[in-house]
Amino acid sequence: MKFFIDTANLAQIKEANELGVLDGVTTNPSLMAKEGIHGDAKVLQHYIDICNIVKGGDVSAEVIATDLQGMIAEGEKLAALHPQIVVKIPMTKDGVKALKYFSSKGIKTNCTLVFSPGQALLAAKAGATYVSPFIGRLDDVTFDGVDLIAQIVHIYRIYNYQTQVLAASIRHSMHIIRCAEAGADVATCPLNAITDLLKHPLTDIGLAKFLADHAANK
């Protein structure tokens, strides 16, 4: 399973990248706003800065337009920025048409705001590179988000769709483990969900004992 980090914070992207397990980055307009990145020029430069940190990794950049022509114009501009850019398109009727357009041009896409298997089926048929089911937001309304991941993985495997299942809206490390068990291709996570995977009290106790025994053995 690939690990992406879900943030526009450059320090956090660097930290995850230095761990050596980062495969890419996802952003969205809310995450860009959280970092205070606004205005076309600054937003575009920020995407380039992210690409330069995660060398070779896919970096999702979301369109703001909601009409087909607007999404195409904006997506083409984003894709031309850097070879690592993946154009992020919302799951709407015009969004599906835009996915099809970009797929026919060989431009990578990430279909976002997916909450049902039907939406995931449409994204795959339109040739999306990634589909992003939002599992935390489903949990928030008492549907098990990981069940949706398992359902989409199952459907895609039956038909051998090449669209990769990118589990999004991950809130904690248990989500990552359950998505891995469900067969997600990618998990995009906040930094703490990734670093929490490191933790186990028996590791800490075991290391302290090894060091104490080494010190006593001098």
Classify residue 113 as left (phi > 0), alpha (psi -120 to 50) or beta.
Answer: left
Four-CA torsion 99, 100, 104, 109, nearest 10 degrees: 20
173 is an interface residue for ligand G3P by CB under 6 A: no
For the chain, what is the largest distance between any 2 Cα atoms, rounded to a whole number of angstroms?
73
Q: Is 42 a catalytic residue?
A: no
Q: Which of 134, 152, 161, 175 binds ligand G3P (CB under 6 A)?
A: 134
| Residue 5 · residue 194 · CB < 8 Å | yes
In the complex, minimum distance from the CB of residue 131 to ligand G3P, in angstroms, rounded to a whole number: 12
Q: Which of 3, 5, 6, 110 binds ligand G3P (CB under 6 A)?
A: 6
Nearer to ligand G3P, 31 or 155 (CB): 31
168 is an interface residue for ligand G3P by CB under 6 A: yes
In the complex, minimum distance from the CB of residue 136 to ligand G3P, in angstroms, rounded to a whole number: 5
| Residue 75 · residue 87 · CB < 8 Å | yes
Q: How many chain residues interact with ligand G3P (CB under 6 A)?
A: 10
Question: Catalytic one among 2, 34, 55, 88?
Answer: 88
Backbone angles phi, psi at 147, to 5 degrees: -60, -40
Give dist(CA 192, CA 12) in Å, integer: 10
Query: Contact positions toward ligand G3P, by CB under 6 A?
Result: 6, 26, 28, 31, 134, 136-137, 168-169, 188
> Catalytic residue positions?
88
